[in-house]
Structure 1
Amino acid sequence: MTSYRYTAIDQYGQRQRGVLDVPNEQALMVSLQQQGLELLTFKLGQSLLWRQPRVNTQALILFCVQMEQLLQAGVPLLQSIAELTEQSEHQGMMAALRTVQRDLEAGKLLSQALQAQPKVFPPLLGQLIDAGERTGQLPEIFGHLTRTLSWQAELLAQVRRGLTYPAVLCVMVSAAAYVMLTFLVPQMASFLQSLGQALPWSTRLLLALSDGMMVYGVWLLLGLIALIGTLMLAIRRSPAFAFFLDQRLLKLPVIGRLLHQLVLARLCRFLGLMYQTGIPLLQALEWCQPLLQQRVMAHALADVHQRVLAGESLTASFAATQQFPPLMLRMLSVGETTGALDRMLFQLAAFYDREVQSQLQMLLRLLEPALTIALGLMLLFLMAAVMLPVYDSFSSLRY
């Protein structure tokens, strides 16, 4: 495929610019004619997947909702994609759907067309739509995807809402500390040292911090940036280090439990959804591994997959990893016994979802007063460091 940057004119005489990935110039002209455009000029350009705007979760949810409605109404698949391409107001989604439309016209399946654009459509979409194509339940699959993506978006929005005030407060505390150490304290340093008395430890510490910030502040900032960059590079390049880091995160007192339950909720929801849509259990266990986004739990699920493949029961396989709580094991055992595994998984997902939301709200409620107290203690330290030597100086005066 070659990327072409083109300028074309539509039936109303308006110019349209964009980028298309096609084999040659003739295919470019044919593709534009199918879209009702007449080619004016073109030149080689960057790939469309690198240039198109980012597609957010809300655009994906709207796509799933519209596809469910159109397919349930009996509109053919190719026509549904074409209508959504024309109606889309999101430039990134419009460009992605145009590529999907061309792939469908070339004979590809919808799941293959979506999986060809991993930067736009997450793996879950392609996997579940593949199952829907095999079972003939494509409208129902889009309905499940709508609810799943909405759950993820709501959880993320809740986290963002809860972290807004603490983030603003952290920025204010950092800005106040920087101004204090680089501007206010140097202004008062000569005055405090001119008092001619032994300075208390708080004042000496404040002056030392101010001198260190003035001399090494830039180097500390550069070192912090370098440390963060090195950490991100190590996570990307070293699977062993990334696995070790995920292990440490799971063992943190409060954050670890919250992260563990969040992964369990995601696992139960995705596994139940795949199993309900007709995906074989072994394949569902394999497909769920990258969706967990937590290496320790993904490794445990891979172990479960191997044990089930070797003939062990699902409950025994989960229990052998020692990464899943007793409640989940009991519910899985009931689901295996009664043949209602998907219903048990959805109940577990709802339970862990409530636990995550409850613990997250409690954590955020504790975080706000903790940051407020930290700001108050910083101001108290500043007042004590400045006022104590002044008070000692005035108390030593004789009238």
Structure 2
Amino acid sequence: MKEQNFSLTDLEMAAAFISNLLNSGIPLDQALVEMSKLQKQHSQFWLDASVHCRTGNSLSSYLKEFWPNTVTGPVEIGEMTGQLPEIFRQIEETISLQLQIRKKLGKLKTPAGMIVAGIGVCVFFLIGVIPSLIKGLPKSDTGKSLIVQLSDAIQNVLHNHQLLLVGTIMAVAGGIYMLFKQPETRHAMLAKLDYVPGLGLAIRSLYYGLWARYMSLMTRCGISPIDAIQRSNNLLLPYMVPSVMAIAENAGRGLAEAVDQDRIEEDDPRQQLPVFIVNAFRLTDSTGDSDKHFQTASQPLVNIGMKVIERFIEVSNGAAIAIAAIFALTPMLMYFLQLADVVKIVGK
């Protein structure tokens, strides 16, 4: 069977469907057959999963080949404890939070889109409006103005180098698409945003908040905090991973000591951990109730990240509108300046 690609939305819906089917008392193998009808784009995947389970194998052993281990680990524990419906419900809620965070981060593209639109309007004026207006002006003894030179240059490219222009646009667009399609590129850009005042706090809060939610989910299923760290660290941006892996590597004397920021070096990556995460590890070490403490740490981190990004987007949108307006109005402003010069010359 060809490997199935499940998007986060697919995983969220699958978890919700399976949880509801199992809570209805439908046996697992039959529930998987029903899944082939509910997710028709993955129909064969679920039919194969049903056959796999009917032959005495666990569902988690099949899902491990296709789904991330942050999901299959809890499923495996859920099978052992008989709490599979509840585990899938929790998985659905956690992925839903992940989708909300992704949607919020996606709004950071809006200001850039406004600026690009402003540039587009500027180019439109230069090639579609300004040439017609300039034709009606008397000849100037001072030679061509900057706006006329820009308009002529763009007209020249459009009329005499069309294939080169189209090829360049397609190559640039294709290159940008392929570049941003790579997770490494997206991660690198988000890492750079960490240096933007205010926004860095939001990025760290959202990613650590989501990671804490998965930590809560896995430890609730009986997975140890150290094992959960190793399973879930890929949810963080690459530059954040050392901060949590250092906890796992130094947990021999206890989790509280591993996150004691007064004892570790200033350049240790654990110094970058949010205080909510540090507190969750400290309380886990003293109470053993890691599920509760990571759940408690997750929500305020996500709330902080969401609020900061909303504020940043509001300010950025205002700045982007101003920049886009400058781009859009500059050609007409330059035209009126030239018109004023022509009027002065005619008046003389």
TM-score, normalisation: structure 2:
0.80
Structure 1 pair 398/250, CA: closer, same or farther in 2 (3 Å)?
closer
Query: In 2, Cα distance between the equivalents of 1:245 and 1:379?
Result: 28
Query: In 2, Cα distance between the equivalents of 1:93 and 1:200?
Result: 62
Query: In 1, Cα distance between the equivalents of 2:313 and 2:347?
Result: 53
1:147: which partner in 2?
93
Indicate conservation of the 8 Å contact 1:59/1:93, yes or no: no
Indicate conservation of the 8 Å contact 1:300/1:323, yes or no: yes
User: Larger relative contact order (C-alpha < 8 A, sep ≥ 6)?
Assistant: 2
- Superposed CA deviations along residues 138-195 of structure 1, whole A, max 9, x for unmatched, are 22211211211222233344555x5696576456334323323344445556677932
Query: In 1, Cα distance between the equivalents of 2:133 and 2:114?
Result: 26
Letter paired with 1:396: I
Gaps of 5+ in 1: 1-20, 22-46
Determine which structure has the larger strand proportion and give its number: 1
Query: In 2, Cα distance between the equivalents of 1:157 and 1:263?
Result: 13
Determine which structure has the larger helix proportion and give its number: 2
- Superposed CA deviations along residues 315-360 of structure 1, whole A, max 9, x for unmatched, are 4434442221334323432332233332221111100110121112
Query: In 2, Cα distance between the equivalents of 1:208 and 1:313?
Result: 72
1:98: how far off?
Answer: 1.2
Structure 1 pair 371/242, CA: closer, same or farther in 2 (3 Å)?
closer
- Superposed CA deviations along residues 228-258 of structure 1, whole A, max 9, x for unmatched, are 378569x67xx8x998766534333344332
Indicate conservation of the 8 Å contact 1:258/1:360, yes or no: yes
Structure 1 pair 182/299, CA: closer, same or farther in 2 (3 Å)?
farther
Structure 1 pair 273/213, CA: closer, same or farther in 2 (3 Å)?
farther
Percent identical? 19
2:309: which partner in 1?
360
- Superposed CA deviations along residues 278-330 of structure 1, whole A, max 9, x for unmatched, are 112221111011232x111123322322222xx14324434442221334323
Letter paired with 2:36: T
Which of 2, 13, 17 matches 1:66? Answer: 17
Indicate conservation of the 8 Å contact 1:246/1:296, yes or no: no
Query: In 2, Cα distance between the equivalents of 1:366 and 1:281?
Result: 39
Structure 1 pair 159/306, CA: closer, same or farther in 2 (3 Å)?
closer
2:264: which partner in 1?
none
- Superposed CA deviations along residues 39-86 of structure 1, whole A, max 9, x for unmatched, are xxxxxxxx3x36xxx655444333323322333444322122223334
TM-score, normalisation: structure 1:
0.71
Indicate conservation of the 8 Å contact 2:78/2:221, yes or no: yes
1:209: how far off?
Answer: 6.9
Cα RMSD between the aligned structures?
Answer: 3.5
Structure 1 pair 288/91, CA: closer, same or farther in 2 (3 Å)?
same
2:209: which partner in 1?
265
- Superposed CA deviations along residues 111-145 of structure 1, whole A, max 9, x for unmatched, are 111122x2xx4433212101212333222211211
Matches within 5 A, 1:1-399: 21=1, 47=2, 49=3, 55-86=6-37, 88=38, 90-116=39-65, 118=66, 121-158=67-104, 162=107, 169-170=114-115, 172-187=117-132, 194-197=139-142, 203=147, 206-207=150-151, 210=154, 214=158, 217-218=165-166, 221=169, 224-225=172-173, 228=176, 231=179, 247-292=191-236, 294-308=237-251, 311-318=252-259, 319=261, 320-321=268-269, 322-398=271-347
